[in-house]
Amino acid sequence: MNRPAGTVVPGDAENTFIRAEFPVNYAQFYLHDGNPYRPETPAPGVPADSDAGILRTARGGAFLVTGLAVGNVNLTVSLHHHEPEPLLREYEDVVEASLRIDIPPLHVDSWGDHKSIELPPLPSETDWYRLRYHARDMDRARDLRSKEPIDSFHLQIWPAPHRDVDILQVVSEHARYRVSRLNRQEPG
């Protein structure tokens, strides 16, 4: 598996930051734990434990939506010992969901597992974590192909008991559409 170099940015004793231009395909990327027998990533159509529109989780993994269809996005992943402040001024869309981890380490993967970043050790040995997914410029990048990043994302991860999904802020049309679909019932 080809592993692009993410830059680990020294934080304080409480935080670790990883920054990378990360490849996406089909406007998505994934987070998963080290369980080799993990179930399918919770993409649309696959059952999810939590669904925040642009972030879906199921035990051991998460499905994250981008605006860009194909190319590179700016991605920051930060690991925290305690709940960090949401970056509401820096990003348009901010949602949260809980994730249960079975086997560390966590990996960020592109579609088809062609590119992967192994994250540093998690800040705690609990099995429940909170994911806060921030997005910026998804409308500007929507459905485009670009080797140069257009949209940017920041994923904050910290130990926390399981909680319901939180939609903290949704500004982009792309995220609003995905969140609005959560409130509709499928005809049946």
pTM reported for the whole predicted model: 0.89
Cα 46 to Cα 5, 17, 51, 63: the distances in Å are 30, 30, 11, 10
**CATH number 1.10.260.40 given to 7-182:** no
Give residue 125's pLDDT: 80
The end-to-end CA distance of the chain, in Å, is: 41
Cα 89 to Cα 44, 57, 106, 134: the distances in Å are 29, 25, 27, 10
Give residue 43's pLDDT: 75
Tell me the pLDDT of the chain (188 aa) as tens digits.
Answer: 444 456 655 555 567 888 999 999 999 999 999 887 776 677 777 778 899 999 999 999 999 999 999 999 999 999 999 999 999 999 999 999 999 998 889 999 998 657 889 999 888 888 999 999 999 999 999 999 999 999 999 999 999 999 999 999 999 999 999 999 886 644 43
The kind and range of the H/E element at 179 are helix 173-182
Cβ(31)–Cβ(62) below 8 Å: yes
Give residue 187's pLDDT: 41
Give residue 138's pLDDT: 97
Cα 124 to Cα 14, 60, 67, 104: the distances in Å are 11, 16, 32, 11
Give residue 45's pLDDT: 72
Give residue 16's pLDDT: 85
Cβ(61)–Cβ(38) below 8 Å: yes
Helix (H, G, I), strand (E, B) or coil at 96: strand
Report angle CA 176, 180, 185 to the nearest 5 degrees.
Answer: 165
β-pairing, 70-80 with 61-65? unpaired
Cα 9 to Cα 56, 147, 148, 182: the distances in Å are 27, 23, 21, 35
